[in-house]
Structures are given as structure tokens and as C-alpha cells.
Amino acid sequence: MSPLTRAGATRYLASRLTNEVVVANLGQASLDLLAIADRPLNCYTFGAMGQCSSIGLGIAIGRPDVRVICLDGDGSLLMNLGSLCTIAAEAPRNYVLMVWDNEVHQTTGGQPTATARRASLVAIARGAGIEKGLEVRTRDELERAVDRILAEDGPFVVVVKVDQGSTTAAFDPDVIGQPARFRKALAAR
């Protein structure tokens, strides 16, 4: 079991952010980000399971001057593995896909995903053609990975193994106001 928690890793990443766009997967990733580090340049993908990596890719292609960091989940990325092939083909240098891999579908009750058995999302990403794939299991590895994704050209896929546990954050989405705030903040960048 990984010593990292999703909330702790989210808090560390947020402490390093300046003016990056962060696109958060529905469920746990969005809830933790909303509670820990809400900011106008966060894009919460309410209700769009599997689409976090693709929405972030579209933003990265449309705004090559802005670094885009997606915070996906293992269950959601496994629903949209074709996204990795598109990321590899388009290869935007400003694109980072981080995956909180807790090896379960946390929001729906903790059913194991394929990463709990034999699947490696980093290996799948490499097979899709993404050369910069990192697997993170410790705080030191997380710090080194964040150093790289904030300084180097991507695309990156960073799979962060985190322990299981539901967020304690309350679900209080503003599905009209938050996307409007995000679009306004991105346009002002």
C-alpha cells in the first residue's frame, strides 16, 4: 500500500502551483482540489467520467502558452485509454496527466480496478507513445516528479500510487459558476 494519500499529494502539488491550469477528474480528485486549493484556474469536470485527460488535452492544444495539469483517476483513465494515444500523437509540450491511482473506484464503493491486478498505466502510456512516464510511490518521488513537470517540456504521464480512502470534503459544486469563473480566468491569462 502506498504511503501517499490523495489529499496529501494534492496539497503538495497545490503548494507548488503558480499560473498553471488544473483540470480535475470528477469525484474524489475534484472534491479534494475544491476543498484544499480552490482557485479560478481550476477546471472541475463534474459528471464527465473518463473525460478529464481529453478535456485537458483540448485546453493544452488551444492554449500552448499555458501549462495544463490534469488530475485524473485510475478508473476514469481506464475508461478512456484511447486518450493516451491521442496525447502521444499530438504531443503538446505543455501537457501533464497526473493520475491518482488508488486501484479502486472509490466513489462507487471501492470496487478494484485493473491496476489492482496486472495493469500498469505508466506501461500503457509508454506503449501509446508517451516517453515521459513516471510512477510515484513516495513523497521524495512526488517532489522530484513535480520539479520535472513544472520545468520540462511534456507531455508527461505521472501515475501517483495513493492509498484508499474517500475524501472528507463536502460535495458543493457550482456547475454554472465554476466553469464560468474558469473560462474567465483562462481568457485573462
CA dist 41 to 10, 29, 68, 69, 188, Å?
A: 15, 15, 10, 11, 10
Segment near Mg ion (CB under 5 A); pick from 40-48, 63-71, 73-81, 170-178 = 73-81
* Between 86 and 166, CB nearer to Mg ion: 166
Tell me how far apart the alpha carbons of residues 172 and 151 are, in angstroms, rounded to a whole number: 33
In the list 27, 50, 56, 75, the residue contacting Mg ion (rule: CB under 5 A) is 75
| Residue 102 contacts Mg ion per CB under 5 A | yes
**Number of residues binding to Mg ion, judged by CB under 5 A:** 4
Q: Closest approach of Cβ 106 to Mg ion, in Å?
A: 5
Q: Closest approach of Cβ 104 to Mg ion, in Å?
A: 5
In the list 50, 56, 73, 155, the residue contacting Mg ion (rule: CB under 5 A) is 73
Q: Closest approach of Cβ 153 to Mg ion, in Å?
A: 28
Do the beta carbons of residue 49 and residue 94 sit within 8 Å?
no
Instruction: Identify residue 34 by its one-letter amino acid code.
Output: L
Strand-pair partners of 67: none
Q: Closest approach of Cβ 123 to Mg ion, in Å?
A: 18
* Between 36 and 41, CB nearer to Mg ion: 36
Instruction: Identify residue 8 by its one-letter amino acid code.
Output: G
Segment near Mg ion (CB under 5 A); pick from 31-39, 40-48, 66-74, 175-183 = 66-74
Q: Closest approach of Cβ 89 to Mg ion, in Å?
A: 26
3-state secondary structure string across 21-35: EEEECCCHHHHHHHH
- Name the one residue in this structure whose C-alpha cell is 483540470: 23
Q: What angle do CA 158, 125, 45 make, to 5 degrees?
A: 60
Which residues here bind Mg ion, judged by CB under 5 A?
73-75, 102
